Amino acid sequence: MKVGAPRSLLGQFIALHAVIAVAAAITLFTSATTLLHQTADHFQRDLLRRQAAASSVALETDPPNASIVTLSNGMAVSVIGSDRRVAKSYGAVRTDVLAAAPLGTRAQFFRTRAIEGLSVPRKHGWIIVSQDDADPAVITDDIVRSFLLRFALICLPIAALVPLIGALLARRLTLRMRTVSLVAGQIGPKSLDIRLPRGQLPLEAEPLAEATNAALDRLAAAIQVQTAFAADVAHELRTPLAVIRLHADGVGDPNIRAAILTSVDRAARVIGQLLALADLERPIESSVRTVDLHALAEHVVSDRAPGIFASGRTIALQSDGAPVCPHGYPEALTLALENLVDNAARHTPPGTAIVVTSGPGPRLTVSDDGAPIPTADLLRLTDRLWRGAGSGIEGSGIGLSIVNRVARAHSGRLSVRAGPGERGLICEIMIGED
């Protein structure tokens, strides 16, 4: 599995600050180490120069006064004659240092292991001054090591503190973004007036909030125009249909009159469904109230029962559990249940038993024991304007789509499945289960 950078802004911020803090700590520690060693070397070389100068003065007196050659901590002084042999030595005799000493025409520093040396030419040879860093009396390296250890102990908490502070700042930023996200999550068809708050996001993200609010304004305007258009068309069609029905009543031939009235009733039903869809596409919060689902189902069953019994079918009402009264839109739920009952009556043969059930919980169910329905048709029953091929049943194809829209308006869903033994259909409106 490929491991990449964290996807979250907070994770990326912490990772970036951690890398920067570690890199800064390493760079700072390395720079301090180099600077300290350079300072210590400069200090040590200055001591070597002064030791060489003092020793040269003592040896140049007439006669030479070697007794005034005083040595600093860890120092050793050797006098090399013009024949390149050791004439005198003061302090420790360091043969390997003398062997490595450059004997040139100018002063030169050199190092052999832990010993720093200085070769200074004089009139009749050279003076070799050296100091052993490992000598217990030499504290320069001890100071450097002690300082670097303490400096490292200081750098570690600072390196850890930098990403922690960055994480706290990023957390504060992400909390503000989450607050705005929660507001955005409340925006929907029933709450198109909600807008993202200004001043909550960083300045760099404010244009995104403004653009989102502008897009919501355009969307709300488009939905309003669409729903108003559908409602206006439906209202305009009602008047011609009333005129047609009035003239149809005067037709003498009963067969022609019945055919005209059937077509008018079908058109009136489609118009009513269009008006219902238009109402569902705009906020209707003002109509929300407690709904007694069993009483609602009882009203629909009693209203549809005469026509269903006259068509040779039966309808019954039953309750599965105690009555439930959720908050919702009574008119919309009534329309949805009426559509389910009417669909069951239209798409089943005579002799079919239709059962309306309220419960368990906040749900309404309409089932029948009609003919089997192909699986491919089951998957498309809630598609708007879809009708099964070859069914021979007239309809607009928007009944179940209205039911589905009503369920979603109640934060629920519509379940459509085959009945027991693959016979009939079970349509279930589940409220508040989305």
pLDDT tens-digit map of 213-222: 888 888 877 7
Q: Which two tokens stand for residue 377?
A: 């048709």
The pLDDT of residue 393: 44
Q: Which two tokens stand for residue 228?
A: 């108003």
Tens-place pLDDT, residues 192-241: 678 878 777 777 677 888 888 888 888 877 777 766 776 667 666 767 77
Element (H, E) at 122: strand 115-122
Whether pLDDT at 396 is above 50: no
Contact 223, 282 (CB under 8 A): yes
C-alpha torsion 279→284→287→293, nearest 10: 70
What phi and psi, each to the nearest 5 degrees, are found at residue 62?
A: -120, 110
The pLDDT of residue 369: 85
252 vs 305, higher pLDDT: 305
433 vs 55, higher pLDDT: 55
Whether pLDDT at 291 is above 50: yes
Edge-to-edge strands of the sheet including 86-90? 86-90, 75-81, 125-132, 115-122, 108-112
**372 — alpha (psi -120 to 50), left (phi > 0) or beta?**
beta
The pLDDT of residue 1: 40
Q: Beta strands 353-358 and 363-368: pairing type?
A: antiparallel
The pLDDT of residue 2: 47
The pLDDT of residue 407: 84
141 vs 15, higher pLDDT: 15
Query: How many whole angstroms separate alpha carbon 326 and alpha carbon 140?
Result: 84
Q: Cβ-count burial of 104 within 10 angstroms (0-12 exposed, 13-18 middle, 19+ buried)? A: exposed
The domains of the chain are located at: 9-142, 187-283, 285-430
Half-sphere exposure of 186 (CA within 13 A, CB side): 11
The pLDDT of residue 376: 65
Element (H, E) at 224: helix 206-248
The percent of residues in the chain predicted with pLDDT above 70, rounded, is 73
The pLDDT of residue 144: 63
Bridge partners of 327, per DSSP, are 290
Whether pLDDT at 383 is above 60: no
Query: How many whole angstroms separate alpha carbon 85 and alpha carbon 214?
Result: 95
Mean pLDDT over residues 146-157, rounded?
70
The pLDDT of residue 69: 60
The CATH code for residues 285-430 is 3.30.565.10
Mean pLDDT over residues 265-275, rounded?
71
| Positive or negative: CA dihedral 81, 85, 88, 92 | positive
Whether pLDDT at 124 is above 60: yes
Query: How many whole angstroms separate alpha carbon 52 and alpha carbon 110?
Result: 14
The pLDDT of residue 109: 92
Average pLDDT, the chain: 76
The percent of residues in the chain predicted with pLDDT above 90, rounded, is 3
> Cβ neighbours of residue 4 under 8 Å, at least 6 residues apart?
none
The pLDDT of residue 11: 66
Tens-place pLDDT, residues 313-369: 899 988 887 767 787 878 888 888 888 888 888 888 888 888 999 888 888 999 888
Mean pLDDT over residues 82-94, rounded?
84
CB count, 10 Å around CB of 296?
19
Element (H, E) at 206: helix 206-248
